């Protein structure tokens, strides 16, 4: 008799778990974790880092918003496709793209020479510098002052690549890599690192929105550009997206979106 | 602390906890029976089954779960030939990787449970005239469960925390939403909320396993 009651108990537990699983499934299908993945299903899936304000991040309603998201949404509409924003792990972005899990990377992606070899890029749409951020009371005044200091940056980021390509790399005491930029800023704030190397767009937004007591040095690493990354040789989709972007520049849509996020039109229209 | 702010950051995390709980439930439901199959294979007299179970457990325990997640999601579709049948959605890939990984651990847990049973018990059932099947169902398995329960409980709690790894293949769960809130607001408070949610889930789990242990205290 006792054994039967145990069996019943286990069955009930299993049922409860299944019920959980069921509601979990239906719940996730309308959030960001489930998706139909393919290039030709009428859905324009952009892969992005959804903790990257102001390019793409979650607002207080948990919706993915941002400069890139507004641009991509409008592009999707002009291409007659449904828009879908898929949060991805930044370290796996190339696999996401090459495995056709996403259609493009649209997430403040810096057009480095290395990436240009492994991806097909749109025309640049934002100009961006890798800048050095220090605390207001820091004794670091120039790039050369980084010698012997602890420097933080996002791992796998273009800041990291720009830093590694610069001569100062060999002189610093230690480089610390973070999963995201905000962690780096927080470490800077508590004094575990002395400086953060980061995209100027991100840094300006962070310092402004957080009222952080940080200073941006006048020296910067090489100027760079943001572009939309597509799977290597997927020029068909790239051209469609580029045409949509061009038409948005012409009718002033990009200017409007830029003003919304940056207060001015900084959309890059070439030299 | 502003109450609306707390609400704002907690709601997405509760949504994320449904993902955590469903991955947990599916993993438990699949990996426990699967793990037991491997236990039986490892103890079987057929050598080839032994070897298969051994190799399976060696590989799945010997590599990081994080790596296995990436292999299931990114790696399997790249296999020439059969790759196109192995394209899973993010959520499904996460469940598959977790179930396969935890089955290896459960297999070892059950094996240790079986080792703990006195050989005299097998002799006793023989004397009583029970068949091998009857012995298994009525004598051995209930005792194996009793011995294994504390370790299973340990493993289940680890599983709840391990679900945070699914974010690497783009499945959004509690910790991911905490991170997005922290990055938006530049305020680490959301991590504290995430910790509380994990603790609540594990409090319930701990309670359930305590009850189960009492049930099996014969």
Q: Is A70 on the interface with B (CB under 8 A)?
A: no
Quote the CA–CA distance of A264 and A41 in Å, as a whole number. 36
**For residue range A75-128, what is the model confidence (pLDDT) as tens digits?**
999 999 999 999 999 889 999 999 999 999 999 999 988 899 999 999 999 988
**For residue range B14-29, what is the model confidence (pLDDT) as tens digits?**
999 999 999 999 999 9
Conformation bin of residue A270: beta by default, left when phi > 0, alpha when psi is -120 to 50 = left
Residue of B nearest to A31 (CA): B172
CB contact under 8 A, B91 and A33: yes
Residue A36 confidence (pLDDT) above 50 = no
Residue A255 confidence (pLDDT) above 90 = yes
B184 vs A6, A21, A58: nearest CB: A58
CB A101, CB A231: distance < 8 Å? no
Residue of B nearest to A181 (CA): B183
Cβ contacts of A35 on chain B, cutoff 8 Å: 89-90
- Interface size A-B, in CB pairs within 8 Å, comes to 127
Quote the CA–CA distance of A110 and A108 in Å, as a whole number. 6
**For residue range A42-71, what is the model confidence (pLDDT) as tens digits?**
999 999 999 888 899 999 889 999 999 999
DSSP codes, chain B: --HHHHHHHHHHHHHHHHHHHHHHHHHHHHHHHHHHHHHHHHHSS-HHHHHHHHHHHHHHHHS-HHHHHHIIIIIGGGSTTGGGG----HHHHHHHHHHHHHHHHHHHHHHHHHHTS-HHHHHHHHHHT--HHHIIIIIIHHHHHHHHHHHHHHHHHHHHHHGGGGGGGT---HHHHHHHHHHHHS-THHHHHHHHHHHHHHHHHHHHHHHHHHHT--
Predicted confidence at residue A6, as pLDDT, reads 56
Longest dimension (CA), chain A: 84
Query: Whole-model pTM?
Result: 0.79
Residue B136 confidence (pLDDT) above 60 = yes
CB A65, CB A58: distance < 8 Å? yes
Q: Read off the pLDDT of each residue in B117-141 and give the average, rounded to a whole number.
A: 91
Nearest in space to A271 (alpha carbons), one of A161, A143, A55, A123: A123
Residue A197 confidence (pLDDT) above 70 = yes
CB contact under 8 A, A28 and B18: yes
Predicted confidence at residue A18, as pLDDT, reads 47
B22 vs A24, A182, A206: nearest CB: A24
CB B57, CB B42: distance < 8 Å? yes
Residue B191: half-sphere exposure toward Cβ, Cα within 13 Å:
7
CB contact under 8 A, B18 and A212: no
**Which one-letter DSSP state was computed for residue A144?**
G
CA distance B12 to chain A (A): 6
Local confidence band at B201 (pLDDT 50, 70, 90 cut-offs): very high
Residue of B nearest to A11 (CA): B29
Quote the CA–CA distance of A104 and A234 in Å, as a whole number. 10
CA distance A64 to chain B (A): 10
Predicted confidence at residue A14, as pLDDT, reads 52
**For residue range A132-152, what is the model confidence (pLDDT) as tens digits?**
999 999 999 999 999 999 999
Cβ contacts of B183 on chain A, cutoff 8 Å: 51-53, 57, 180-182
CB contact under 8 A, A33 and B182: no
CA distance A171 to chain B (A): 30
Q: Is A26 on the interface with B (CB under 8 A)?
A: no
For A257, the enclosing helix (H) or strand (E) is: helix A253-262
ipTM for the whole predicted complex goes beyond 0.85: no
What percentage of chain B reaches a pLDDT higher than 90? 82
The number of residues making up chain A comes to 271
Residue A13 confidence (pLDDT) above 90 = no
Burial of A3-13, coded b for 16+ CB within 10 Å and e otherwise, reads eeebeeeeeee
Residue B218 confidence (pLDDT) above 90 = no
Predicted confidence at residue A23, as pLDDT, reads 42
Residues in CB range of B159: below 8 A, 6 or more apart:
B24, B27, B28, B98, B102
Pairing of strands A56-58, A64-65: antiparallel
Higher pLDDT, A9 or A220: A220
Local confidence band at A27 (pLDDT 50, 70, 90 cut-offs): very low
Distances (CA, A) of A112 to A100, A116, A225, B37: 22, 6, 8, 50
B172 vs A14, A23, A32: nearest CB: A32
A6 vs B22, B24, B215: nearest CB: B215
The chain-wide mean pLDDT, for chain B, equals 93
CA distance B183 to chain A (A): 6
The chain-wide mean pLDDT, for chain A, equals 85
Residue A26 confidence (pLDDT) above 50 = no
Local confidence band at B130 (pLDDT 50, 70, 90 cut-offs): very high
Predicted confidence at residue A223, as pLDDT, reads 81
Rounded to 5°, the CA angle B11-A56-B197 comes to: 25
């Amino acid at each position: 008799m006792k054994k039967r009651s145990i069996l019943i108990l286990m069955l009930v537990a299993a049922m409860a778990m299944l019920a959980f699983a069921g509601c979990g499934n239906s719940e996730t299908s309308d959030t960001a974790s489930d998706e139909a993945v393919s290039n030709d299903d009428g859905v324009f899936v952009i892969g992005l880092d959804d903790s990257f304000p102001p390019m793409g991040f979650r607002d207080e309603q948990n919706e993915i918003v941002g400069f890139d998201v507004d641009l991509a949404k409008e592009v999707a509409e002009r291409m007659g496709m449904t828009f879908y924003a898929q949060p991805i792990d930044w370290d796996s972005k190339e696999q996401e793209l090459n495995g056709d899990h996403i259609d493009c990377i649209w997430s403040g992606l810096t057009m480095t020479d290395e990436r240009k070899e492994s991806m097909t890029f749109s025309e640049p749409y934002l100009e961006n510098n890798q800048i050095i951020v220090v605390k207001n009371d820091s004794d670091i005044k120039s790039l050369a002052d980084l010698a012997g200091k602890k420097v933080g940056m996002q791992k796998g980021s273009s800041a990291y690549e720009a830093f590694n390509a610069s001569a100062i790399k060999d002189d610093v005491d230690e480089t610390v890599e973070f999963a995201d930029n905000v962690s780096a800023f927080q470490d800077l704030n508590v004094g575990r690192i002395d400086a953060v190397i980061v995209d100027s767009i991100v840094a300006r937004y962070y310092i402004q929105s957080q009222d952080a007591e940080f200073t941006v040095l006048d020296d910067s690493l090489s100027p760079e550009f943001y572009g939309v990354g597509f799977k290597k040789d997927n020029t068909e989709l790239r051209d469609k997206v580029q045409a949509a972007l061009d038409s948005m520049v012409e009718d002033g849509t990009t200017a409007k979106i830029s003003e919304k996020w940056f207060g001015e039109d900084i959309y890059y229209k070439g030299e | 602390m502003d109450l609306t702010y707390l609400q704002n950051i907690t709601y997405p995390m509760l949504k994320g906890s449904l993902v955590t709980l469903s991955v947990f439930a599916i993993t438990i439901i699949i990996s426990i029976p699967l793990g037991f199959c491997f236990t039986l294979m490892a103890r079987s007299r057929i050598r080839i089954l032994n070897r298969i179970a051994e190799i399976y457990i060696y590989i799945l325990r010997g590599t990081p779960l994080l790596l296995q997640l990436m292999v299931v999601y990114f790696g399997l579709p790249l296999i020439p030939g059969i790759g196109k049948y192995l394209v899973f959605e993010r959520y499904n890939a996460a469940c598959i990787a977790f179930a396969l990984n935890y089955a290896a651990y459960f297999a070892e847990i059950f094996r240790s449970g079986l080792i703990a049973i006195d050989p005299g018990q097998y002799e006793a059932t023989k004397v009583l005239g029970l068949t091998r099947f009857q012995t298994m169902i009525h004598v051995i398995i209930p005792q194996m469960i009793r011995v294994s329960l504390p370790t299973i409980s340990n493993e289940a709690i680890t599983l709840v925390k391990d679900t945070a790894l699914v974010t690497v293949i783009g499945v959004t769960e509690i910790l991911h939403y905490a991170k997005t809130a922290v990055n938006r607001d530049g305020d680490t408070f959301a991590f504290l909320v995430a910790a509380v949610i994990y603790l609540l889930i594990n409090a319930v789990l701990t309670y359930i396993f305590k009850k189960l242990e009492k049930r099996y205290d014969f």
